[in-house]
Amino acid sequence: MIIRSLLTDSNPFNSTEEIKEWIVQRNRQVEVKIEQIPFDRMKLWHSDPDGSLHHDSGRFFSIVGVDVITDYDCNSHWRQPIILQPEVGYLGILTKEIDGVLYCLMQAKIEPGNVNCVQISPTLQATKSNYSCVHSGKSPHYLEYFVNAKPENIILDQLQSEQGARFMRKRNRNIIIKVEKDVPVLEDFRWMTLGQIKKLMHCDNMVNMDTRTVLSGLKISDYITPLDGLNVMSQFGKDMILSSTTNHAFISTRDHLSWLTGLKAKYDLFVNFCPVNEMPGWKKTRMEIVRDDEKYFKIIGVNVTISNREVASWCQPLVQPMQQGLCAFIIRKINGVYHFLVQAKLECGNFDVIELAPTVQCLTGNVYAETACKPEFAEYVLHARRDQIIFDTLQSEEGGRFYKEQNRNMIVEADENFPLALPARFTWMSLRQIYKFLRFNNYLNIQARSLISALNYKNEL
């Protein structure tokens, strides 16, 4: 059922081209207006004397300052604004088996920070404040299916982290449920196969971050049977299945756990709240919280009008990037099995100091050019030959908190001349080992999960 969904992009309800056109139409039809405004004009928000920004209800999220001390890298002490959102939200996909194929009910959702306004989102994407109706708006569609889900309905259920450099220890509940009864399909929703969603991930900024993180948790090899018609699977797909099932790995999982535990014990991370008004190198004006050198990111205030949301108009802060990012996995066959080059990365908002990240996760532009600590392997990725590149797409960050932020997402295959010996904070993992860590909370960061979700198993016709 799941494998058939993964390997088919034919859909009697909506072809892939019809889905693309539907997204274009929703962009035309739904009124969207995003206006940057001064912080003191953000209705239902206020600034504390220390410069932090809070919703009047005490809910949703806040922008606060943090003081960070670590011995992980060459930058050992800094202060920055960060999003404080202690609530656990829902990222949920509702599925149903129809004629032996699993279909996902996906939403055309507009977020204020989306690059292209409408993106393909999970069935349910809501903070606790949203679904508790703190905003006095409507309850999110299909919420009751997830609130009332029974264990036998649940395909996937995990707490997973958000961006550790921008959120303070933020997690969401990633959940996939399967229902048996007919489901009403509302205006902004469509049934899609997993194969269609994977195909749409190859389009720039089409499938949002929340969809990608939820689908990353599906270990495809768990669902394979001899009757699945694997002849339509690409050779790369078959190689990925081998990597996700074989016990033959270059480094044992036990050694990976020891390696990761050792790094968490080795590096200190002290994060304390501090006044936004007392962050060296940053300034707060009426319009923004921004670095003096205008690098990394800034905080802006916006007034939002979106005609099809639970609340049609509201104000909020958004994080606006100053540079585009690069997130990339280098993969390599070792003894005939694909392995992923994984980085142990410390970020100030991580729940447990270090999370497993892609080979390269960095900003580009002037930050990359001027930094004293050049990201390992970034040059290799940026100068990869065309025949080495398996995946190369611009993907957006979550538009509910980030304003038009996108990263270049890449998967690059290295040849047999690429060294097996690695710097201390890197290791080789088979896909099976990655999924072992992915089954538990707070091991793989959201950038790594986004890339794992993009793995495509089907032959392109």
437 and 369 share one domain:
yes
42 and 121 share one domain:
no
127 and 201 share one domain:
yes
Q: b vs e for 203-234, b when ≥16 Cβ sit within 10 Å of the residue's Cβ?
A: eebbbbbbbbbbbbbbbbbebbeeebeeeebe
Domain boundary among 321, 345, 360: 321
Q: Report yes or no on 459 lying in a domain.
A: no
From first to last of the 461 residues of the chain, give the pLDDT tens digit.
Answer: 888 899 888 899 999 999 999 999 998 888 889 999 999 999 999 999 999 999 999 999 999 999 999 999 888 999 999 999 999 999 999 999 999 999 999 999 999 999 989 999 999 999 887 767 655 567 899 999 999 999 999 999 999 999 999 999 999 999 999 999 999 999 999 999 999 999 999 999 999 999 999 999 999 888 887 555 567 789 999 999 999 999 999 999 999 999 999 999 999 999 999 999 999 999 999 999 999 999 999 999 999 998 777 778 999 999 999 999 999 999 999 999 999 999 999 999 999 999 999 999 999 876 667 766 789 999 999 999 999 999 999 999 999 999 999 999 999 999 999 999 999 999 999 999 999 999 998 999 999 999 999 999 986 64
223 and 263 share one domain:
no
Q: Report yes or no on 460 lying in a domain.
A: no
285 and 380 share one domain:
no
Identify residue 157 by its one-letter amino acid code.
D
Integer Cα distance of 444 and 411 in angstroms: 16
Q: Report yes or no on 381 lying in a domain.
A: yes
Any idea which residue has 């495509």 for tokens? 456
166 and 311 share one domain:
no
Q: What is the pLDDT of residue 250?
A: 98
102 and 219 share one domain:
yes
Domain boundary among 205, 229, 253: 229
Report the domain count for the chain. Answer: 3
φ, ψ at 350 (rounded to 5°): -60, 145
74 and 138 share one domain:
no
Q: Report yes or no on 12 lying in a domain.
A: yes
154 and 90 share one domain:
yes
Q: What is the pLDDT of residue 461?
A: 42
Q: Report yes or no on 283 lying in a domain.
A: yes
Range of the domain at 281: 34-83+274-321
Q: What is the pLDDT of residue 460?
A: 62
Q: Find the CATH number of the domain harbouring 353.
A: 3.90.79.40
Q: b vs e for 412-430, b when ≥16 Cβ sit within 10 Å of the residue's Cβ?
A: bbbeeeeeeebeebbbbbb
Integer Cα distance of 51 and 68 in angstroms: 18
Q: Report yes or no on 461 lying in a domain.
A: no
65 and 195 share one domain:
no
317 and 330 share one domain:
no
Q: Within 10 A of 285 (CB to CB), how many other CB atoms are there?
A: 10
Q: What pTM does this model have?
A: 0.95
The DSSP bridge partners found for residue 80 are: 66
Q: Report yes or no on 336 lying in a domain.
A: yes
313 and 335 share one domain:
no
Q: Report yes or no on 238 lying in a domain.
A: no
